[in-house]
Amino acid sequence: MPSGRVSDDIKNDPDQETILHIPNPTQDIKTLQSNAISSSSDPPKALPSIHRFITTHDSSGKSCYSSDLDEPLNFWKVSAGEENSADFELGYVTEGLPIPLANDKDLSMFKEAYANKQKSGLVKHGGTILRYCDIPPGSKSQMHRTVSLDYGILINGELECLLDSGETWTIHPGDVVIQRGTNHQWFNRTEQWAWIVFILFHATPVEINGRALGEDQGGMELPDSH
């Protein structure tokens, strides 16, 4: 429940209250704002904090939680040549299919990738990326394309997606955008932060009349995908 909302049924059930955290809106927003990485020129970011829980296995083969990485996610700012930039965070990265789970090989690879996350491109060649994006109010990205199949799931706020054909749509929490090598631009035309999660799969380029449509980051300050 990203918004921190709890249903009236749960609030009125004392047994439920003993096991669920019922947020204090004032306290939680103050905490979230103090933890936000946004610069002083950005609007306050009153978004829920995010934690990542990764599983592994013990010596008997039972599933357990890995303690190799900190649970809280820490965002960094990515400039797109606009007044307000987006905040990115790397949720997970894999390489190769099938994904090598034996001996926690995938986890070891991710730990290395996470230590150098600001050097990562938008797409992991031969793999997948789970990425969080926080988009400030009144901001927009540049028109850009990745050579990937993307699942974009909006968690909070409202976003408009413009295609290079001029077509546009507006998405709301719970909506999913499936992009296939798509040249597109994001707009947040509201007064609140938008929070969207992307899962990107490296793909072969779209070809139109024999011409491959390659990656174009549109001026974002990120390394090329690799």
- Whether 1 has a pLDDT exceeding 80, the answer reads no
The pair phi, psi for residue 63, each rounded to 5°, is -70, 145
Please choose, from the candidates 205, 212, 206, 198, the residue with its C-alpha nearest in 3D space to the C-alpha of residue 122: 198
Task: Give the pLDDT score at 142.
Answer: 86
- pLDDT of 7 > 70? The answer is no
> What is the distance between the alpha carbons of residues 194 and 38, in angstroms, rounded to a whole number?
13
pLDDT value at 23 more than 60? no
Where are any strands of DSSP class E within the chain?
55-57, 63-65, 76-78, 86-95, 127-135, 148-156, 159-163, 168-171, 176-180, 184-187, 194-202, 206-208, 211-213
pLDDT top residue among 73 and 166: 166
Residue 220 has pLDDT above 70, yes or no: no
Tell me: the pLDDT tens digits for 134-187?
Answer: 999 998 988 999 999 999 999 999 999 999 999 999 999 999 999 999 999 999
- Find how far residue 112's CA is from the centre of its chain: 19
Two tokens, residue 28: 């939680």
Amino acid at residue number 91? G
DSSP states along 84-106: SPEEEEEEEEEESSS---GGGHH
Q: pTM here?
A: 0.74
Structural domains of the chain in order of their starting residue, each with its CATH number: 1-35 (no CATH), 46-213 (2.60.120.10)
pLDDT tens digits for range 83-119: 557 888 888 999 999 999 999 999 999 998 888 776 6
pLDDT at 11 exceeding the cut of 60: no
Q: Is the pLDDT of residue 35 over 60?
A: no
pLDDT of 22: 32
Q: Cα 98 from chain centroid?
A: 23
Residue of higher predicted confidence among 57 and 3: 57
